[in-house]
Structure 1
């Protein structure tokens, strides 16, 4: 029906659950990371999504989706390393927040591409990865990432100015 292998369906399911956990972490805690249950689930499921994505060759050999999976793993490693060095604030806290947040944007790219080139059935929204409308949607997603990144930076700046023990908004 959607031209998905069993492995592709498994990979997609992991990705969808990862994104849901990421959204929950952002809404509940204002950030992504391994210090909350939903954030940890997001990170682990995003690792699983990236690793499984490396074994999918729908369009032949190694290509942009594989490069994106590697970039995601690198961003997660940077975020994890920075998170371990960060206290409540400081440069490492900014690096961790922005590295984890870019991975949520990275989920958007194959999500839009694969969904939009398959649905609606019989008349997909996008003709392929180079469709101008798809590129516009990804560009809008990047703009949303930039707004979220600015919000993360502002939130962390506010946390630096908040006395220890005071709640962070």
Structure 2
């Protein structure tokens, strides 16, 4: 991995940890909590550094995912400014879900070294895992919005 890739990965892990902390402590990711703000800031930097990583050639799906993440973060921020708390909550949670797509893909197409679990990012089993993660996101969003 390049130095940028190592920094990107380490910051991504920090983002996930702070996102988990925010969800466990506050049932949401919000810039009004320290853990939520740390998640948001690190997610912005992870998305921006992801645009400079070209492990699979030129501009590709991971880069599009970085741009999508930045757009959703902007929408969440605007929703917070406009006092649309439910939209803000779901949008920040969606960015948490988006972290798992490249995380799972990159991990399982590289580990174990020399004999990765999946041969390519397009493996149907990886698509199924992404689908399960999306269902978990939907269930989590429903839980977050319950009683709010």
Aligned to 1:135: 127
Helix, strand or coil at the partner of 2:125 = helix
Counterpart pick for 1:65 among 52, 62, 65: 62
The residue that corresponds to 1:153 in the other structure is 145
Does 1:42 pair with 2:42?
A: no
Q: In the alignment, which of 74, 93, 106 is matched to residue 98 of structure 2?
A: 106
* Selected match of 1:144 from 118, 136, 139: 136
> Which of the two has higher C-alpha Rg?
1
Aligned match of 2:23: 26
Give SS of 2:103's match.
Answer: helix
Conservation of the 8 A alpha-carbon contact between 1:78 and 1:96: yes
The runs of 5 or more residues in structure 2 that have no matched partner are none
Give the SS at the match of 1:123: coil
Give the paired residue count. Answer: 148
Q: Is 2:3 aligned against 1:6?
A: yes
Report how far residue 71 of structure 1 moved.
Answer: 0.5
CA shift at 1:85, angstroms? 2.0
Matched residue, 2:88: 96
Kept in 2, the 8 Å contact 1:33–1:80? The answer is no
Corresponding residue for residue 15 of structure 1: 12
Runs of 4+ in 1 over 6 A off after TM superposition: none
SS at match of 2:29: coil
Q: TM-score, normalised by structure 1?
A: 0.85
1:52 paired with 2:44, answer no
1:38-94 deviation line (CA, Å, top 9, x unaligned): 0000000000000000011111111110110000001001111111222xxxxx111
Q: Which structure 1 segments of 5+ residues have no match? A: 87-91, 160-169
Structure 2 CA distance, aligned partners of 1:44 and 1:33?
Answer: 11
